[in-house]
Amino acid sequence: MKTMSSLDIYAISKELQGLVGYRVENIYRESTGRFFLFKLKGKGQYRNPFLLIEPGIRLHLTEVKHSVPERPTEKIMVLRNHLKGAEVIGIRQIDFDRLIEITLIGKQQYKVYIEIFGNRPNFVVVGSQNQVISALWFKKMRHRDLLPGKEFELPPSRGKSILDMTYEEISEIITNSEVENEEIVRTLAQKAGGGGRLIEEVLFRANINKNSKNKEILDKEIQQILQATKEIYKDLEKLRPSVIVDLDDKPHSFQPIDLKSTTKKVQYFDSYSQALDFFYMNTVPKTTIGQKQLEKKKEKLLKVLEAQELTVEKFIKKKKQYKELGDKVYLQLDTIDELLSTIVQARKKNINWLEIQRKLAQAKEQGLLSLKILEEINPEQGTIRLNLNSEMIKVDFRKSATEIANEYYERAKKAARKIKPANAAILETKRKLRDLSETISEEDSVERFILKRRKRKWFEKYHWTQTEKGFLIIGGKDISGNEEIVKRRMKKNDLFFHAELHGAPYTVLVLNSSENEATNHDINTAALLAAAFSSGWKAGYGAIDVYYVPAENVSFTAPSGEYIPKGGIMVHGNRTYIKGVEMALAIGVQVNEFNATVIYGSEKDVRLHSSITVIIKPGSIPKGKIAKQLHQIFNKKTISPEEKAKIRGIDLNEFVQAIPHNSVISRVEYGMLEEIDDSNHIISSSDD
């Protein structure tokens, strides 16, 4: 796999300075364990960025949605314990090497060192006392020891970068008699830092044939090398990230600036992280979500099934065996009863066991029929062993033959009763295996699809929907959200909606311009949002009334002598009412290029963008369970593997946010609409 060079590390370190001031919100390790993901949060140029760190390979921001295990490993828990909530205060490349240092301040000052080199690249966390807290691996080495709690030492320097060398240093390298017959590109790559690609670029810009022998290099050409390094440094001041692609636009390599030694086709990007993200997501096989875990689950289920089938076989065998033994006892009922009675009567006469056994043995030799079946007496256990047609059984000699036979029949029935539930358990395990096999098959089919993390829009902090004409409708989620919508978001041409009951969101139909005219459908949709997320849904109402007024009729100023509480408003003038707004909310999934979005609102609006639409109404099922049901419906009913992959990548919380309160699924509609017919509610007016 292609790894980042020292030049790439220099460029990405420069670009990632924008992360300074961000805090670590969480830390994950990708399912296969290849790389770490740092979820960051801050108020800079990036919105909830994810920093991908793959030791030995790369470091950059990523928009790709990578799979992570449901349960974090112990190592990740250690990292979270120390770094979660810590603020990034510095990111730097060390000595133009493939080594990055990230400094954070949290419970203490931490330094994270990421090696992008070697056969066993490391990821080391060091505390404020320069002691090692965590690492991918610990080891005693020739130059240093990397052990928990021990003082951390940087790996040995790999030499000064070609970009930072002086005339004298370059001259000393190539004029050495030991290398005079070597090619200059090979010598500089070995003796100067920066990597072979950078050396080739320097020589190209210096107009020096990279295969020239060192002894052929003149003083003026060394000056040309110095001039070339200055040019490259100047280019690095303003990056021009790109990916080199072949004729089929497949990525071949990446570069932070235009490398003049490269004449191949390139594709430019706004940032180096975007270029690196594009390159790796198109060249590295995408790991499926929990593929290994699914295979392990399948192995466990197969073992469970095998054990269950053996158990059923055992029950069937026992049922047959006990039934046959009961039959054999009944066939010789009188003989067995005579033998048992003889033993019991002898004991009642206080005849000792030695004498009883002697007499029984003597009678057996004389051919007494009842004693032919006797094999052994065990006085201590109170049992005798009988031979019933070559079938040996041990019975309690204090019981009657009928009791013994019935005990065997009861054991047979008991074994029989266990067969049915055991078979049911087998069917359930087979069902789980079938479902799991389908899931594994789905994983295989969606493996080729690349998912990107969806960037949230500003209005998603509120309740929101959009109408067929593209009008945005937003509603507050709490008092502060209500106040923010009316004070900051609502403009004079907008319409303000509110349900006619206590406990309802301030809802605004955003028209922006006086030239935009809302249709009945737009107004009804805004009324639906205002009604659905009101307290009426929680109360289980089937329908409620909603009114609306122009934005200019809403104010935060109370009449003289009156008081408006925090978040309260005054509504002036006539109110227009939408009577009987039905409490029924449509929820769908809009599939995008690299992901999918949960949408909700009126049924017709949702069906414009979603091939499956679920209608929910007030009910008794908690919204968390409804969210899981919705996720399952969209995943199971979607046919396209690509769309299925995108739907499975949706955060369950997106469904939760679309559900007002406890609900019930009313119905599911399939198919998308091409147009919307304007619906009409009964609208009436009322004075304030």
* Helix/strand/coil (H/E/C) assignment for every residue in 579-600: EEEECCEEEEEEECCCCEEEEE
**Among residues 301, 297, 294, 302, which one has the least CA distance to residue 648?**
294
Lowest mean pLDDT segment, chosen from 401-405, 478-482, 683-687: 683-687
Q: For residue 492, is it within any domain?
A: yes
Q: For residue 278, is it within any domain?
A: no
Q: For residue 197, is it within any domain?
A: yes
- The helix (H) or strand (E) run that includes residue 276 is helix 272-283
- The helix (H) or strand (E) run that includes residue 371 is none
Q: For residue 485, is it within any domain?
A: yes
* Distance in angstroms (rounded) separating the CA atoms of residues 553 and 569: 10
> pLDDT at position 139, please?
86
Q: Which domain holds residue 193?
A: 162-236
75 touches 52 (CB < 8 A): no
Asked which of 351, 376, 409 is the last residue of a domain, the reply is: 409
Model confidence over 14-24: pLDDT tens digits? 999 999 999 99
Task: Say which CATH number the domain at 100 has.
Answer: 2.30.310.10
For the record, the structure tokens of 276 come out as 């690196």
* Distance in angstroms (rounded) separating the CA atoms of residues 67 and 649: 9
> pLDDT at position 683, please?
40
pLDDT band at residue 448 under the 50/70/90 scheme: low
Instruction: Count structural domains, the chain.
Output: 4
Q: For residue 308, is it within any domain?
A: yes
**% of the chain at pLDDT higher than 70:** 93
91 touches 100 (CB < 8 A): yes
DSSP class of 393: E
Based on the fold, state whether residues 474 and 348 are members of the same structural domain: no
Based on the fold, state whether residues 484 and 514 are members of the same structural domain: yes
Q: For residue 246, is it within any domain?
A: no
Based on the fold, state whether residues 594 and 463 are members of the same structural domain: yes
**Among residues 566, 583, 568, which one has the least CA distance to residue 661?**
583
- The helix (H) or strand (E) run that includes residue 598 is strand 596-601
Based on the fold, state whether residues 124 and 174 are members of the same structural domain: no
Question: 377-407: b or e for each residue (b if 16 or more CB lie within 10 Å)?
Answer: beeeeebbebebeeeebebebeeebeebbeb
Query: At residue 678, does pLDDT exceed 50?
Result: no
Based on the fold, state whether residues 502 and 528 are members of the same structural domain: yes
pLDDT band at residue 681 under the 50/70/90 scheme: very low
> pLDDT at position 285, please?
63
pLDDT band at residue 682 under the 50/70/90 scheme: very low
Instruction: Write the secondary structure of 219-231 as one string of H (helix), E (strand) and C (coil).
Output: HHHHHHHHHHHHH
* Distance in angstroms (rounded) separating the CA atoms of residues 402 and 334: 10
**If DSSP codes are grouped into helix, strand and coil, which group holds residue 552?**
helix
Query: At residue 675, does pLDDT exceed 90?
Result: no
**% of the chain at pLDDT higher than 90:** 60
193 touches 161 (CB < 8 A): yes
Q: Nearest 5°: CA angle at 331, between 336 and 356?
A: 10
* Distance in angstroms (rounded) separating the CA atoms of residues 530 and 60: 42
Based on the fold, state whether residues 553 and 647 are members of the same structural domain: yes
Phi, psi of 51, rounded to the nearest 5 degrees: -95, 120
Q: How much is the average pLDDT of 66-88?
A: 91
Model confidence over 212-260: pLDDT tens digits? 999 999 999 999 999 999 999 999 999 999 999 988 888 999 999 999 9
Model confidence over 134-181: pLDDT tens digits? 999 898 887 788 899 999 999 888 778 899 999 999 999 998 888 889
Determine the distance from the C-alpha atom of residue 573 to the mean position of all C-alpha atoms in its chain, rounded to a whole number: 51
Q: For residue 638, is it within any domain?
A: yes
For the record, the structure tokens of 309 come out as 């089938």
Tell me the residue type at 101: E
501 touches 536 (CB < 8 A): yes
Based on the fold, state whether residues 325 and 192 are members of the same structural domain: no
Q: How much is the average pLDDT of 389-411?
A: 89
> pLDDT at position 141, please?
82
Query: At residue 291, does pLDDT exceed 80?
Result: no
Name which residue leads in pLDDT, 423 or 1. 423
Q: Which residues pair with 36 in a beta bridge?
A: 29, 53
Query: At residue 443, does pLDDT exceed 70?
Result: no
**Among residues 179, 165, 260, which one has the least CA distance to residue 216?**
179
Query: At residue 103, does pLDDT exceed 50?
Result: yes
> pLDDT at position 194, please?
83
Lowest mean pLDDT segment, chosen from 101-105, 365-369, 537-541, 634-638: 365-369
Q: How much is the average pLDDT of 545-550?
A: 96
Farthest CA pair distance, the chain: 129
Q: How much is the average pLDDT of 397-425?
A: 92
Query: At residue 679, does pLDDT exceed 50?
Result: no
* Distance in angstroms (rounded) separating the CA atoms of residues 282 and 132: 36
> pLDDT at position 687, please?
39
Model confidence over 337-383: pLDDT tens digits? 888 888 888 888 888 888 888 888 888 777 776 778 888 888 888 88
End-to-end CA distance of the chain: give it in Å, rounded. 70
Structure-token match 């006539």, residue found = 574
User: Strand 463-466's sheet: what is its strand order?
Assistant: 463-466, 472-475, 507-510, 495-499, 543-550, 575-582, 683-686
Based on the fold, state whether residues 489 and 634 are members of the same structural domain: yes
Name which residue leads in pLDDT, 619 or 66. 619
Task: Say which CATH number the domain at 218 has.
Answer: 1.10.8.50
Give me the DSSP letters along 395-414: EETTS-HHHHHHHHHHHHHH
Q: For residue 384, is it within any domain?
A: yes
Model confidence over 489-514: pLDDT tens digits? 999 899 999 999 988 999 999 997 77
Determine the distance from the C-alpha atom of residue 23 to the mean position of all C-alpha atoms in its chain, rounded to a whole number: 21
Determine the distance from the C-alpha atom of residue 397 to the mean position of all C-alpha atoms in its chain, rounded to a whole number: 66
CA dihedral 386, 388, 394, 398 (to 10 degrees): -70
Based on the fold, state whether residues 623 and 477 are members of the same structural domain: yes
For the record, the structure tokens of 371 come out as 């004693």
Phi, psi of 155, rounded to the nearest 5 degrees: -65, 155
> pLDDT at position 560, please?
65
> pLDDT at position 159, please?
76
pLDDT band at residue 684 under the 50/70/90 scheme: very low
Based on the fold, state whether residues 51 and 138 are members of the same structural domain: yes
Asked which of 89, 120, 146 is the last residue of a domain, the reply is: 146
> pLDDT at position 680, please?
42
Asked which of 380, 409, 438 is the last residue of a domain, the reply is: 409
Residues in the chain: 688
* Distance in angstroms (rounded) separating the CA atoms of residues 529 and 602: 8
Based on the fold, state whether residues 141 and 167 are members of the same structural domain: no
Q: How much is the average pLDDT of 446-467?
A: 83
Based on the fold, state whether residues 617 and 510 are members of the same structural domain: yes
